[in-house]
Amino acid sequence: MEWQPYRPCCHRFAGDAEVAFCPECGHPFLRCMAFAECGSLVGPTQACPVCVAPSLMIDAGAVVQSKTGERVSVPLILRNNSTGNRPIWVRQIVKLTGTVEEPVALTWEQIDPQTERHFTIDTPPMAEGGTHALRMLFVIASRYRGLEEAYAYAGGTTITVSGPDTQQVIQNINLAGAQFQTGGMVHTALNTKDRGSSAPTALADRAVLPMERAERYELERGIRGYPDKGLRVPRTVEFAFSGFRAAEVPPDGTTMAAGGRFTVGRNSRSPDPGANAAPNDICLRAYDARTGQVDEPATLAISRHHFDFAVVNDRLCVHARTTHGMELSGAPLASGTLVALKPGERLVPIPGRPDKLSIQVAFTSSIGSVDRITISRTPGMAS
């Protein structure tokens, strides 16, 4: 189903974290990873409007006029307008000169909510007169409990460049006493007056500059999505499962929806206040290949909550949670590590035992977006 914007009724009911759909219009809820702090709903590939709310301003006193051959230093302000007490981190500011990207040196990185940071952009000498665009790209991140969502924004201003100063030549001709019949002398005095030397005017007040999301830059630079495939994984992606027993996984077509992740581990999917207070979305068990029964020693090597599948930065990621260890494509994953999964990579929950259990993912996509992710286990088990 095509994603539709949230309606006013959605925001009235979104505060209840247990509600997955709007009771009035039925719209599914997608919550920010920091929902416990910001209480905000998000779109499939959009930034949280509460956690990531930057604005760009040009500072009072700025001069955006120059003459050919001159450089200009433009004082700018980056402000965090978050209304939910959420800081942002500025990973990079890039100045664009033609097709050349020049990183701006910063002595800071964090901007607390409702505060601002100052920086300056220096231009090269202006070779020609006219109006010149000063373009910048900003990579801004929001962080929460070991996860980081980064987004790129484009912003800028214009600089007016005048040509060389022009001078008007005035000739005063004195004809007093001249005798033209006898070749009288004509005296001229040159008077030059500068007509183009008016000083540039500084801005009396700061002014807000336009700033917009730079999705193409995000994908091309690998900030979000899979640049080698030109694909993004939206938060609304559907999942299918292969090789699992029916009771171990959600039904095909399930999304991560409100929670934003699938918990994976030894605990079953059935909640039990006494024996299973923290059920998983996906249950992992190792089985005896001959009998089809649970291999208890191997299964006990899987933590109750072993790892998470999560969509972060438009990529499917694995977030290791176990202290028992696990492997991705032969490399160990330490607890707390977050790694983007590429189609075909093999995840081994029990280190060194892919024969007992391994997991792979496959993508089904269209028009730059992943529509479905299939999670398969080997060896496969009959339902």
Place of tokens 């899979």: 226
pLDDT bin (cut points 50, 70, 90) of residue 145 is confident
Of all residues in the chain, what percent carry a pLDDT higher than 90?
Answer: 69
> What pLDDT was estimated at residue 202?
81
Average pLDDT over residues 25-48: 93
Greatest CA separation found in the chain?
133
pLDDT bin (cut points 50, 70, 90) of residue 201 is confident
What 363-370 contacts at long range (C-beta under 8 Å, 24+ apart), as own/partner pairs, is: 363/231, 363/233, 365/229, 365/231, 368/230, 368/231, 368/232, 369/231, 369/232, 369/233, 369/234, 370/231, 370/232, 370/233, 370/234, 370/237, 370/316
> What pLDDT was estimated at residue 200?
67
75-127 pLDDT per residue, tens: 999 999 999 999 999 999 999 987 889 999 999 999 999 999 999 999 888 88
**Among candidate residues 367, 254, 269, the one with its CA nearest the CA of residue 28:** 254
Place of tokens 């779109």: 43
Whether the per-residue pLDDT at 183 is higher than 60: the answer is no
Least confident of 181-195, 198-212, 220-234, 368-382: 181-195
> What pLDDT was estimated at residue 199?
60
Residues 6+ apart with CB under 8 A from 260: 30, 31, 33, 235, 310, 311
Least confident of 122-131, 174-183, 196-205: 174-183
Whether the per-residue pLDDT at 256 is higher than 80: the answer is yes
Please, are residues 320 and 302 in contact by the beta-carbon 8 Å criterion? no
pLDDT bin (cut points 50, 70, 90) of residue 164 is low
Strand pairing report for 307-312 and 261-265: antiparallel
pTM of the model: 0.86
Spell out a b/e string for 214-238, using b for 16 or more CB atoms within 10 Å of the CB, else e.
Answer: bbebbbebebbbbeeeebbbbbbbe
Report the distance separating Cα 364 and Cα 30, nearest Å.
21
List of domains in the chain: 54-163+197-220 (2.60.40.10), 238-378 (2.60.200.20)
Place of tokens 């901007």: 111
Q: Between these two residues, 280 and 277, which has the higher pLDDT value?
A: 280
> What pLDDT was estimated at residue 333?
94
